[in-house]
Amino acid sequence: MKVGILGSGIVGRVLASAFLKEGYNVMMGTRNTAKEEVLKWARENPIGKTGHFAETAQFGELLVLATGGTVTEEAVALAGIENFSGKIVIDATNPIAPSQPENGVLKFFTTLDNSLMERLQKLVPTARFVKAFNSVGNAFMYKPQFAGGPPTMFICGNDAEAKNMVTAILADFGWETEDMGHVQAARAIEPLCILWCIPGLLRNQWSHAFKLLKA
Ligand SMILES: NC(=O)c1ccc[n+]([C@@H]2O[C@H](COP(=O)([O-])OP(=O)(O)OC[C@H]3O[C@@H](n4cnc5c(N)ncnc54)[C@H](OP(=O)(O)O)[C@@H]3O)[C@@H](O)[C@H]2O)c1
């Protein structure tokens, strides 16, 4: 299967390499294919492809959004709304506002009555968005190793088939998955990023992940 990763930051590069390791045909998308990080990724991943956002969105049968939260809608427009039609889109983004955290608590530009993924789902109604990978640091996105066993990835989205596929991918990537329901659940899943970052921002502790314990 062809995967188009929209984003060449650390998350885009980590997920692009992870999908390659799992045997997918991968293109990593950027506005600038001559950027040093992109060239370095291409040298280290010779079977991976790189391309502009639109080329990448066209290429991918499955898409991953890994762009800065404030610019994600801009990136989707650059990628071409028509290139998302009917596709499963894993949304790893967070709506982090460009202001200083307060005592380690990041600021969001969304409220608790809305979320970035709801905005994206409205922007591209035909795409099948699934929130995933947003509530953990990039170092643990692929094959995380914790003494407490596999951590839990909280996902949500409106399309059951899309969530089943993402759940299977997450199992291959070393995760347990909890489906939290429809797109509105992104209002709860996106802020997990704020919680995840607090120990890092306060105490420089970044090596953790969430796990849901059930009776
Ligand atoms: N860092 C983490 O560990 C982590 C963990 C979980 C979730 N996340 C979320 O994942 C997303 C990506 O994070 P990141 O740290 O990898 O990188 P980032 O710096 O937040 O985003 C980099 C990407 O955003 C694109 N971009 C920047 N300005 C743009 C614009 N005006 N229009 C279109 N695209 C633009 C860049 O394009 P170019 O390729 O052209 O430079 C690049 O592909 C964020 O939403 C973040 O909150 C991050």
Residue 108's nearest CA partner among 183, 186, 194 is: 194
Q: How many angstroms does the Cα of residue 199 sit away from the middle of ligand 1?
A: 22
Best residue among 5, 11, 52, 108 to mutate for probing ligand 1's pocket (most ligand atoms within 8 Å of CB) is 11
pLDDT band per the 50, 70, 90 thresholds, residue 214: very high
pLDDT digits (tens, 9 = 90+) for 159-174: 999 999 999 999 999 9
For ligand 1, atom 14, which residue shows the shortest CA distance? 9
Regarding the beta carbon of 69 and ligand 1, being less than 6 Å apart is answered: yes
Task: Determine what percent of the chain falls in helix, strand and coil, rounding each to the nearest 5.
Answer: 40, 20, 40
Question: Order of strands across the sheet with 88-91?
Answer: 49-52, 25-30, 2-6, 62-65, 88-91, 128-131
pTM check: above 0.85: yes
Helix or strand holding residue 195 (H, E):
helix 192-203
For ligand 1, atom 38, which residue shows the shortest CA distance? 30
Question: What average pLDDT score do residues 87-96 get?
Answer: 99
Rounded-to-integer distance, Cα 18 and Cα 170, Å: 11
pLDDT digits (tens, 9 = 90+) for 31-66: 999 999 999 999 999 999 999 999 999 999 999 999
pLDDT of residue 131: 99
Query: String of b and e for 128-167 (b: at least 16 CB within 10 Å)?
Result: bbbbbbbbbbbebbbebeeeeebbbbbbbbbbeebbebbb
pLDDT of residue 83: 98
Regarding the beta carbon of 74 and ligand 1, being less than 6 Å apart is answered: yes
Query: Which two tokens mark 159?
Result: 């399309």
